[in-house]
Amino acid sequence: MSLAVYSHPDMLGHDAGHAHPEQPARLTAVVDALRDGAPGLDWREAPLAAREDLARVHPDRYVEALLQAAPREGRVQLDPDTALSPGSLPAALRAAGAVIEAVRATGRGEHAVSFCAVRPPGHHAEPERAMGFCLFSSVAAAVRVAQAEGIAQRVAVVDFDVHHGNGTQAVFESDPDVLFLSIHQAPLYPGTGDPSETGVGNVVNATAPPNAPRELWRRLFETRLMPELDAFAPELILVSAGFDAHARDPLAQQQLEGEDFAWATRAILDVARARAGGRVVSSLEGGYDLQALGRSALAHVQALREG
């Protein structure tokens, strides 16, 4: 089976503002890189997430508040970094819907591995708070769908975005059936994710200082995250695939190149084959240098396809 990729042009309609780093060109860069560099992918249309699926993570009052706040023109600022434009909610609903549908299709046996080329990102969105460019916690909602529908009970989330996935951690830190693993720069926004944050023994945070060498990042990933992932023996692995730890990224100070993301992807797939029947659903999070983002996403998807 070819690698499934979920996306939708509606996600280009989210406009966070002039010169905002989370811009429509990000998705264009990823889609163009994949279409040019990885022919033969199984492109699939991302559906709109259903409110009942979002409600597995976000109270209905939060979803309704976003729907009511959505402007017909201009923008509504939710926090200094996060805004709603007329196209924002369709984009965010498609982003969440992509990950949810990818999980469901995995459960139906249509594919073992998939990638969701989506925006806006989701891993900073807390159950009742939009923040950090994020509106809905897409990966978290997909995990809850997997559990509710019997696709997988024990689920792991590996987050290698350079910023800590505080929203994902907030959803799962009391659930022993979900393992949350994050490697991120510290100090850096949002200021969470200290290694002392362990949930109920199901949260592992590995931190790299600014300007850390690539070798340190790889060592932390290999020695702190992967043994925990293997020991947890998940039935399904989701990946929050942020590419903003790249050396070119303007919002952080890490030194990774595309080959490092491919290396990390192969490590995740090794565990997936041994523990999870090879089942991996990956979803785009951050990455704000367009050239680096396209190249890194392509390296990630090529490694996924090898699996």
8 is catalytic: no
Map tokens 């693993």 to a residue.
181
Q: Are the C-beta atoms of 116 and 175 separated by less than 8 Å?
A: no
DSSP per-residue letters across 142-191: HHHHHHHTTS-SSEEEEE-SSS--HHHHHHHTT-TTEEEEEEEESS-TT-
| Bridge partners of residue 155, in order along the sequence | 178, 236
β-strands 113-116, 4-7 pairing: parallel
Q: How far apart are CA 22 and CA 14, in angstroms?
A: 9
* Helix 88-107 × helix 138-148 angle, to 10°: 40
Q: How far apart are CA 275 and CA 90, in angstroms?
A: 35
The residue annotated as part of the active site, out of 124, 164, 184, 246, is 124
Q: What is the DSSP letter of 285?
A: -
Structure tokens at 93: 């609903």
DSSP per-residue letters across 15-62: ---TT-SS-HHHHHHHHHHHHHHSTT-EEEEPPPPPHHHHTTTS-HHH
3-state SS of 220-283 is HHHHHHHHHHHHHCCCEEEEEECCCCECCCCCCCCCECHHHHHHHHHHHHHHHHHHCCCCEEEE
Q: How far apart are CA 255 and CA 213, in angstroms?
A: 6
Q: Are the C-beta atoms of 43 and 307 separated by less than 8 Å?
A: no
> What residues are annotated to the active site?
124
